[in-house]
Structure 1
Amino acid sequence: MAKKRANGEGSIYQRKSDGKWVGSISTDDGKRKVFYGKTKAEVREKLNEAVYAQQRGMLSVGPNVALQEYLENWLENIHKPTIRLSTYLNYRKLLDNYLLPGLGKIKLQKLTPQQVQAFYSQKINEGLSPKTVNNVHGVLHKALDNAVKWNMLPRNICDAVTPPRIPRKELNYLTSDQARILLKEVKEHRLEALLTLAITTGMRRGELLALRWQDINFTDRSLQVRRAVSYLKNYGYVESEPKTARSRRTIMLPEFVISILQQHREHQQEQEALAGKVWVSKGLVFTNAWGDYYSPSTMLKVFKRFLESIDMPHMRFHDLRHSAATILLAMKVHPKIVQEILGHSQITTTMDIYSHAMPSLQDDATEQWEDKFGKKSKKKGKK
C-alpha cells in the first residue's frame, strides 16, 4: 500500500513484482511524475526534490521547453538559494555570456552531446580560455543533473562530453629563503601582520580580510577561519561561509606570529583612538583607516608597491598561499596536516597542486632507505 503523504507531497510504495520502490507526484498541469529506486530512502529523496521543484514551478515545465527557459528557472528558483552570492553572480555571467546565446534555443530533450561538444570547440576557437569553458561545462552539468533527477531527461548528456584540457600552469611561489627575506623586510610595514599570516597559514585573501579578533585565541595560539569577504559590484562587501566545509578550520600559530598580531592590535587601538567617532567597530583584524573592511584592490596595490620596494619578483597575492604549502612540505610537515591548514576538501588536491615539492621528499625517503638498508648501514654495522 502506498504511504499517504500530505497533498502535494506525492506517494511512495514498494512493488511486489520486483521489490523496487516507487514514488509519484501530480504536477500542476495534471500529469504525474514517477520516480524509481532500490531503497525507500532513495525514492524519498527524489520525491522531496520534486516537491521542492514543484513549489518553484519546475515540474510543470513541458517536454518541449527550451534549454534557455529551463536554465533560467533552475538557476533563479532552484540553485540560487543554495549557493553564495558570488557563486550565483558567476553562474549568472556564464549563462548570460555563453550558455543562453549559444545553446538556449535548443529544446531541453533535443540537446545532444555532439551539439555541446561542438559548442565548446567553437568557444575555444573564438579564443575563450579552456578554464572558462570548463566552468561553463560545470554549470550545464549541474543543471542537467537536476533534470535527470526530476525525470525530465533519461540521462545527463554532459557525461558524454569532454571539456577542453586545462593547461597546467607552473606555480609561482617563494622559497624558504625568499620568504625569510620578505618577512624581514615587511617589519614595521602596514602589511606586516597580513603578509606574515598569509605566508605562515596559507589563508585566502577573502579569509584574511574577514578575520576578526574574536577568531584569534592568544592563549592557545590558534586561529579560526569562519568566514570570507569579497567586494561585489552593485552589492559592496559581502561576507559568506568559507569556500568549502573543510575551509572552516582551526590553525595553530607560531609564537612569533602571535607576537606580531599582538603588536598589530596595539597599533590598531591607537588608530581607533585617533579616529574617534568615525571609527567603525566591526572587530576586524585588518581594516582601512576607519575600522571598516580593507579594500582588496587597495591592499593589492600596497602589496605590489611593497614587492617593488624590496626588489622582489612580481607575484599574485594568492601565490603566498602556494608559498605556504610549498614551505610546509619542504619542512617535512605531513601532507595531511598541510591539507588541514590550507582547508582543501581532499588531500588529492594538496598532493596534485604541490607535487613540485615532492621530489625533495622522495630524496629524503631514498636517503633513509640507504641509511637503514644500503651500503651506509653496512659500514655502520662494521664499526
Structure 2
Amino acid sequence: MDPSKITVAQWIDQWIAAGAPGRKKVKVGQRTLERYEELLRVHVKPKLGTKLLQKLQATDIDKLYTELEAKLAPMTVNHVHSCFNSSLSTAERKGMIASNPMTRIEQLPSAGESDHGLALDEGELKTLVCGFKRSVTMYVPVAVDAATGVRRNELLAFRWTDFDADLKTLKVERALEITKKFGARYKPPKTWRGKRTIALDDGTVALLLAEREKHQRLMAGVPDGAVVDLSLIRLPDDALIFPGMPPAGQSFSFARPRDPSAFSKRFRRTADDLGFEGFEFHHLRGTHATLLLDKGVPVHTVAERIGDDPAVLLRNYAKRKRSQTADTSVSSVINAMSAGIYGS
C-alpha cells in the first residue's frame, strides 16, 4: 500500500502484527503485545485512527492526551504514550513518515507516583503472614514469597525440581504467563538478572518439605499419619510447588497452574480483612527487599536475590519507609526474618 494512504489505525495494526518492535528492533512478549493492542485500540484508534499517518500532527496528539488525562489515571496515559510513541518511532525508522510528531508534542504525559508500596516492618509482616494460616492454599505461597521476594508469576511457576532441600535453594528458571492467544504458558525471565538461585532460610526449607510431603502422600494416595517411606514416591518433573485446583468436573493435576489474577485478588481480600487495606501481593517483594536493605545487606546482593537492577532497587527503596540497622550477613538476616514470619 502507498505509505501516503495508510491511516493511523492501519499502521497500528501493521505494527502489532509485526510484534510491536521498538528501537532495538526486538519483538515484545505476547502478554505485552496484547496489552499494547488493547491500549491503542481503546484509547488511540477511536480518536486518531482515521487520520492519514503522514498527516498526523503533534497538535492531534496533544488534544488526545488532554482528553485521556481528564478521565484516566496518569500511569495509564503514560502507558498509552509509551506504546503509541514506539509505534510512530518504528514508522519513522521504516520511512513511513518523515519524522515522529511525538518529538513536537507540548508535554509528555506524567507517569504519576509509582506504586512502590509501603514496606511492612518485621512485626507487621509476621502478623500478615500468620494471618494466612487459616487458608490451606494461600499460607505457604504467601510465606515463601515473604521470605524470598520473588515475583508473583515466578512464584506460581516454581516446580519441585527447582527446590534443593540439601543446598537450601530455590531456582528461578521461568515465569507463568497468561495470554489470550496461548492461554497459560511459561517463559524465561525477562532479563539475565531474572534467572537466579535464591538461598533459603531454615524455616522456609521446613515449610517446603512439609508441603512436598503432602503432595507425595496425595500422589500415592497415602493418608496423613500413615508411616511410609516417602522417598520412594517421585513427583512428576513438571509438578508445580503451588498447583491450582481443578475446575468442577475435572481431575486434579500437579502441573495445572493457578490463575495469577485470582490469586492476587484472594490475597488482597485476606490482607484487607487482616487490617492491611491496600496492601497488594507485589508489595511483599518490596517489603522483603526493604527489610534486607534496612539490615545493611549490600544493594548488589539484594538486587541479585530479587532479580532486579541495583539502580532501580535503590530508587524504589528511597520511596519506602525504612529504619537504620547494620548486619551484612544475608544468611543471618533471612534466618532472623523467617523466625518472625513463621512465629512460634
TM-score (norm 1): 0.69
Q: Give the superposition deviation at 1:187.
A: 5.6
1:122 aligned residue (67, 74, 79): 67
1:194 aligned residue (124, 141, 146): 141
The number of aligned residues is 300
1:283 corresponds to which residue? 239
1:175 corresponds to which residue? 121
Matched, 1:163 2:108: yes
2:290 corresponds to which residue? 326
- Distance of 2:101 and 2:306 partners within structure 1: 35
- Indicate the SS of the match to 2:4: coil
Once the two structures are superposed, residues 2-39 of structure 1 have per-residue CA deviations (whole angstroms, 9 ceiling, x without a partner) of xxxxxxxxxxxxxxxxxxxxxxxxxxxxxxxxxxxxxx
Q: Give the superposition deviation at 1:93.
A: 0.5
- Distance of 1:77 and 1:255 partners within structure 2: 48
Question: Using a 3 Å threshold, how does the CA distance of structure 1 residues 207 and 140 change in structure 2: closer, same or farther?
Answer: same
Matched, 1:141 2:141: no
- Distance of 2:317 and 2:142 partners within structure 1: 21
Question: Using a 3 Å threshold, how does the CA distance of structure 1 residues 241 and 83 change in structure 2: closer, same or farther?
Answer: farther
Question: Using a 3 Å threshold, how does the CA distance of structure 1 residues 67 and 218 change in structure 2: closer, same or farther?
Answer: same
Question: Using a 3 Å threshold, how does the CA distance of structure 1 residues 71 and 255 change in structure 2: closer, same or farther?
Answer: same
Q: Give the superposition deviation at 1:223.
A: 2.1
- Indicate the SS of the match to 1:229: strand
- Indicate the SS of the match to 1:354: helix
2:317 aligned residue (350, 354, 368): 354
Matched, 1:104 2:58: no
1:65 corresponds to which residue? 6
Q: Which of 1 and 2 has higher RCO (CA within 8 Å, sep 6+)?
A: 2
1:303 corresponds to which residue? 267
Query: Is this contact kept in 2: 1:329–1:357, CA < 8 A?
Result: no
Matched, 1:213 2:160: yes
Q: Give the superposition deviation at 1:242.
A: 2.7
- Distance of 2:3 and 2:261 partners within structure 1: 47
- Distance of 1:206 and 1:275 partners within structure 2: 31
Q: Give the superposition deviation at 1:305.
A: 5.8
Matched, 1:88 2:88: no
Once the two structures are superposed, residues 120-156 of structure 1 have per-residue CA deviations (whole angstroms, 9 ceiling, x without a partner) of 011112x111111111111112112222222233333
Q: What are structure 2's unaligned runs of at least 5 residues? A: 224-234, 246-251, 327-344
Query: Is this contact kept in 1: 2:58–2:104, CA < 8 A?
Result: yes
The amino acid of 2:125's aligned partner reads A
Larger Rg: 1
- Distance of 1:358 and 1:315 partners within structure 2: 14
Q: Give the superposition deviation at 1:238.
A: 2.7
Question: Which deviates more, 352-361 or 333-342?
Answer: 352-361
Question: Using a 3 Å threshold, how does the CA distance of structure 1 residues 309 and 158 change in structure 2: closer, same or farther?
Answer: closer
- Distance of 2:110 and 2:82 partners within structure 1: 13
Query: Is this contact kept in 2: 1:222–1:252, CA < 8 A?
Result: yes
2:17 corresponds to which residue? 76
- Distance of 1:334 and 1:358 partners within structure 2: 18
Q: Quote the sequence identity (%).
A: 26
The amino acid of 1:171's aligned partner reads G
Q: What are structure 1's unaligned runs of at least 5 residues? A: 1-59, 365-383
- Distance of 1:283 and 1:304 partners within structure 2: 26
1:229 aligned residue (176, 179, 182): 176
